[in-house]
Homo-oligomer: A and B are copies of this chain.
Amino acid sequence: MPSEFDVASLGPCTVPSPLARYHDHEGRTIEFVDDRECILVDDRLCRVSDRCDAGGGFPALELAGPRRQLFFEPGRVRIGIVTCGGLCPGLNNVIRSVVMSAEFHYRAEKIFGFRHGYAGLVQSNGWIELDSELVSNIHRLGGSILSSSRGPQDPARMVDRLVDLGVNILFVVGGDGTMRGALAIAGEIRARGLKVAVVGIPKTIDNDLRFLDQSFGFETAFSQAVQAIDAAHAESKGAPNGIGLVKLMGRHSGFIACAAAVASGEANFVLIPEVPFRLEGPNGLLAVLRRRLERRRHAVIVVAEGAGQDLFPEEAAERDASGNVKLHDIGAFLARRITEHFRATGFEVNLKYIDPSYIIRSVPANPADAVFCATLGLNAVHAGMAGKTEMLLGQWHNRLVHVPIAAAIAQRNRVDPTGPLWLSVLGVTGQPLSMM
């Protein structure tokens, strides 16, 4: 019974893994993972019992990890890697891990790094060769040594390039747009009957991807954002009726805003795309802000960039090269509206607006993300060597899994306004349950 979670592969695996030579001090081999080892998508007892009573059928995700038999031949495999879309902490760590794993564990013949995202797959000279020496220190650097770009390219031309270079596995690091591009490449590959694996490593600084407990770089990003909230807090207390207003990333999902606010413990209002709010009215932000200022004389507001978009007049949306709708600038808007409102009502406030923007995404990965990226890269290589394709590396219930790209991008992960994270935010901020 085919399921939406079945992972495609290029064919039967018949080459023994070189990792079988690894033995521990007691002679045991490493733990290979069998394709049939899956973990349940829904592991709640009640649901499992129900399904059991109903005669079975447990949707499950394939576990990532080294396979005993491979599709590609170690020593002769050629791999490519490309990073697309906006920067995210850990890109270099992922690149480094893919390169080192391919070289050390599977003795890849050649490793190509495509520069400037998918554009590097269609430009002449769009790639460089990578090896462990070259990547040995890149995990100390923010950004991507391969650079990046936005937007799609012609799948046919990209596959031509892969064929020219003899690439067997293409690792694609990027967000949902990038993953759609990966599917287009894989479709072209399938149409031509080629044996090239396309393995996705999901990158979403907003942490909004399905089947991904936490995306790489997310932790580094919100940790960095804490600094901006702390600065806003100091500013808010540094002047009479001080208001510190911080805009953070988060187009569709407020995870960064929520996590940074809880970590900092200094935010008094968190505004996210998932929870609408009004400015005016007795429960609107302006009124509750006034009450807070009267009571405590200072306030810190954290707003995710995608929050409050309904406060702007409806108009034809602009889009960027990735096809993302250009958001209205809610931070500048709030700064202006709050200042004007209190000036009009003769209530002195001192608003300081902080927009750390790219600072939170351009820093090097912190140690926890470094470990996570190392693991992601390693397991992506395991997957590619086993001929897995059109899939990406997810993390579900704390284990790395293989998820078909189509399933992963089918819906977006968002903060649940009735769930535990938002309850933590309410507890930390003391903000009203609803500002509608």
**Using a CB–CB distance below 8 Å, which chain A residues touch chain B?**
19, 21-26, 28-31, 36-40, 43-46, 48-49, 51-52, 56, 58, 60, 63, 65-66, 86-87, 96, 100-101, 104-105, 116, 119, 136, 139-145, 147-150, 213, 219, 222-223, 226-228, 230-235, 237-240, 242, 244, 259-260, 262-265, 275-277, 352-359, 362-363, 366-368, 370-371, 374-375, 378-379, 397-399, 416-420, 422-424, 426-428, 430, 433-434, 436
Contacts and interface: CB of A to CB of B under 8 A. Distances in A.
A359 B231 contact: yes
A215 to B, nearest CB: 13
A213 B214 CA distance: 14
A52 B142 CA distance: 49
Given A48-B58, A49-B56, A362-B238, A25 B417 contact: yes
Contacts of A144: 237-238
B100 A418 contact: no
Given A45-B40, A142-B231, A368 B219 contact: yes
From A37, A227, A363, name the one whose CB has the most chain B CB atoms within 10 angstroms: A227
B52 A43 contact: no
B22 A427 contact: no
A276 B240 contact: no
Nearest to A144: B238
A23 B87 contact: no
B362 A23 contact: no
Contact of A367 (B235, B263, B355, B358): B263
A100 B427 contact: yes
Contact of A397 (B60, B398, B436): B398
A26 to B, nearest CB: 8
B368 A263 contact: yes
A367 B222 contact: yes
B23 A238 contact: no
A320 to B, nearest CB: 11
Contacts of A100: 427-428
Given A23-B433, A86-B238, A119-B240, 15 more contacts: A24-B433, A29-B418, A30-B419, A43-B397, A87-B238, A213-B398, A223-B367, A231-B362, A234-B362, A262-B370, A262-B374, A355-B355, A355-B357, A368-B368, A374-B424
A238 B419 CA distance: 35
Nearest to A357: B354
7 contacts: A36-B45, A49-B56, A219-B368, A259-B371, A262-B375, A354-B357, A378-B424
Nearest to A374: B262
From A40, A46, A239, A375, name the one whose CB has the most chain B CB atoms within 10 angstroms: A239
